[in-house]
Amino acid sequence: MNNGIEKLLFILEKSGKNYDLLKIRQAYRMAAELHEGQFRNSGEAYISHPIAVAEIAAGLGLDTDSICAALLHDTVEDCAEKIDLDEIKRRFGPVVAELVDGLTKMVNIPFADKEEQSVENLRKMLLAMSRDIRVIFIKLCDRLHNMRTLDAKPEHKRRITALETMNVYAPLAHRLGMQRIKHELENLSLSYLDPIGYNEVYNDIERKYGINRNFLEKARGQIADKLTEYNIHFQLEGRVKSVYSIYKKMYNQNKSFDEIYDFYALRIIVDTELECYTALGIIHDMFRSMPGRFKDYISTPKPNLYRSLHTTVIGRDGIPFEVQIRTWDMHHIAEYGIAAHWKYKSGEESGGDIDKKLEWVANLVETEEDTHDPDEFMRALKIDIFQDETFVFTPKGDVIALPQGSTVIDFAYNIHSQVGNKMIGGKINGMIVPIDRVLQNGEIVEIITSGQSRGPSRDWLKIVKTSEAKNKIRQWFKKEKRTENIAVGRAELDRELKHYGVAYTEAQYNTIMANLAKRLGLHEVEDLYNTIGYGGMSVAKISGKLRDAFDAVVTPEPPQEPLRDVSQVQLAPKVHHAKHFTGSVIVDGVDGCQVKFAKCCNPLPGDKLIAFVTKGFGISVHKADCINIAQKRAAGEDETRFKEAQWVDEYVSGQQNRTFEAVLHITAVNSYVLIAEITMALADMRVSILQMNSQNKNDSEVNITMTVGCKNLEHLYSIQARLRSIRDVLRVTRS
């Protein structure tokens, strides 16, 4: 028997847990046979890697199936001609097979590029992780051993692996509370990504720790004596911050090494929660505490289950140091995170509290289902897992953790999808705030809902931070607004096709869309339109595939033969178009004049027009009944400067997709939901608000002046009608 497996079996036996050692031996034998003749870059037999991964997994206290999966995790990927998942399932059961499947990369599927393949492998792993969290535990063990042995790889591969570890796996370990693995992954990654910076910080640590070693030992002895005096059973550990944490603080805060004040730390581990607070009182009695540096993660744990008291005090030598105080249970969770809590007993479900802490995995899976965009998936991953968090409170005092930068809308959807869908406003610390207000730590947030709400706005997709909120908004539009989504999606694709400048028939258009939908894995063309319409896919991201589908169907007309007798060619007179030519207005029977639209009356397609030749600013177009035009004529202005003008028909009918400015004056009953209802109504119509001002008319009424974008006069009438239908709106007039 290989010495490596004997060491693993010794670790498992020593743990005192009820491992099925026979099953683990069988898994080892199969892995050893399948990897026979395979070697790592270091020259070691390949089987040494799965054994090392299994040892790390055993250190986390993972169960028999996890150890078997660790031993077999590379077999299907690297030995596909010898083994498949069905055989593993037959020999070791469905759980081991599912774990191995979750850890197996997709190597035989064609991808556009390496980046897409990397994202899809990550999606596959997270999907498996949502079904069984042990997948990521084993993957982190696998990555940790690969990082420990990364020296054997070529330099460019070392950097790629280190960068992926820093960007994906270290943050995942942090999100799961597995601090020991996280710190080692970060330090190892930094040593390959910036070896000079790593060595500089490492040497500075050695120098500073050597100078002040007596200080830390002295403080440790003083605290130990005091805790003993109070009959507290404890363990006291001294440490310095990791190389990466100091490097990151220096980089992010632009500090020198000597400006890092929480360099030293002492950790006190006691038996009970009460003793934690007793020890805290003793520390604050012995040393002067630094204001704003106390954190109570016992009463308010972090989402990854971390619990501890943190305080920074100034030692008697004038040197600041941090003290962490926790119980043994808290310490075990701090080191191993959710892995310390997970249970794998037959027929026993994990606690609901753990399930709640892992809701972010389910949210990511929903992102995977609702978006076909790898970039959007990575954006959601980086926001939900990698960013620092903001802690806010519900009115009942419950703590809600959200990524930094989250808004009131994100909070509403975190509570429940129906709360978000019916939201019309929000309060922070009792004060009404805009729904796009960014949340700050410690705020009390309340959501105002209404049964009359017409649901979320598409603009919310641009505001929200979390994938959970974005998913739920998309789901609402996907379910409630399919007809509208299809129209929006088709319009966006049509707009993209116009950029090609090549004519096509309706039959060609249908073929293009059918081919594009098939290429994107969608069954129907309407599914393609719907997906774009509700935000599950952006036209910008599929523009390359759209162009390929277009070129495969539409062939541009070949250029015409050049005329042989150039003397017969009639050259059209050269017309110098103005830089801002719009082509929307005909002036004195001439099309293509340079015009600008007067701000005093904001003419819209459908209005009767008159043009006025300004001095030095070209032609200004006004409404025919504009008061400024009437005043100029009354003042005896030269009549030759007034010209007949009319709209080009395509603008009046709305066939052109340009928008014009219109100013509306609204009188309404003042209420806290008024602005929200107005903006939601316009968002439903996809009308842009360019400017808005409000002023109280009296105690009960308010005047609102707003500039909106609309296509023509008929569009303006529909906007006015929609606004008049709002309960508190009294009058809507064009200003």
The two tokens of residue 533 are 């319409």
With a CB cutoff of 8 Å and minimum separation 6, the contacts of 158 are 150, 151, 192
Q: Measured between alpha carbons, how far is residue 9 from residues 14, 17, 21, 547 in Å? A: 8, 12, 7, 58
13, 33, 65, 77: the catalytic one is 77
Q: What is the 8-class DSSP label of residue 656?
A: S
661 is catalytic: no
**Residue 647: strand pairing partners:** 585
Give the strand order in the sheet containing 431-433. 431-433, 423-428, 445-449
Q: Is the pLDDT of residue 637 over 90?
A: no
77 is catalytic: yes
Q: CA-to-CA distance for 334 and 356, rounded, in angstroms?
A: 18
20, 33, 44, 78: the catalytic one is 78
Token pair 């027929």 is at which residue? Answer: 347
- pLDDT, position 267: 92
Helix (H, G, I), strand (E, B) or coil at 109: coil
Q: CA-to-CA distance for 99 and 134, rounded, in angstroms?
A: 7
The two tokens of residue 510 are 């249908």
3-state class percentages of the chain: helix first, strand second, coil last, to nearest 5: 50, 15, 30
Lowest-pLDDT choice from 149-158, 320-329, 560-569? 560-569
Q: Is the pLDDT of residue 186 over 70?
A: yes
Mean of pLDDT values over 110-118: 49
Confidence of residue 346 (pLDDT cuts 50, 70, 90): very low
Helix (H) or strand (E) holding 184: helix 179-193
Mean of pLDDT values over 473-500: 81
| Pair 307, 301: CB distance under 8 Å | yes
- pLDDT, position 396: 84
With a CB cutoff of 8 Å and minimum separation 6, the contacts of 665 are 703, 704, 705, 731, 732, 733, 734, 735
Q: What angle do CA 407, 409, 415 make, to 5 degrees?
A: 110
The two tokens of residue 90 are 């037959």
- pLDDT, position 410: 92
- pLDDT tens digits, 224-241: 999 999 999 999 988 777
Q: Is the pLDDT of residue 343 over 70?
A: no
- pLDDT, position 109: 39
- pLDDT, position 120: 63
Mean of pLDDT values over 627-654: 83
Q: CA-to-CA distance for 592 and 571, rounded, in angstroms?
A: 19
- pLDDT, position 562: 45
> What is the four-CA torsion angle of 514, 517, 519, 523, rounded to 10 degrees?
-100
Q: CA-to-CA distance for 710 and 684, rounded, in angstroms?
A: 14
Helix residue ranges, H only, 382-535: 408-415, 417-421, 460-463, 467-480, 482-498, 506-519, 525-533
Closest CA to 457 of 534, 351, 536, 399: 534
Q: CA-to-CA distance for 524 and 515, rounded, in angstroms?
A: 10
Confidence of residue 568 (pLDDT cuts 50, 70, 90): very low
Token pair 């209420």 is at which residue? Answer: 671
Q: What is the 8-class DSSP label of residue 444?
A: B
Q: Measured between alpha carbons, how far is residue 539 from residues 383, 529, 625 in Å? A: 23, 10, 42
Closest CA to 660 of 702, 611, 623, 705: 623
Q: Is 726 left (phi over 0), alpha (psi -120 to 50) or beta?
A: beta
Q: Is the pLDDT of residue 1 over 70?
A: no
Q: CA-to-CA distance for 368 and 329, rounded, in angstroms?
A: 35
Q: CA-to-CA distance for 375 and 307, rounded, in angstroms?
A: 34
pTM here is 0.54
The two tokens of residue 152 are 């054997």
Token pair 């030293």 is at which residue? Answer: 264
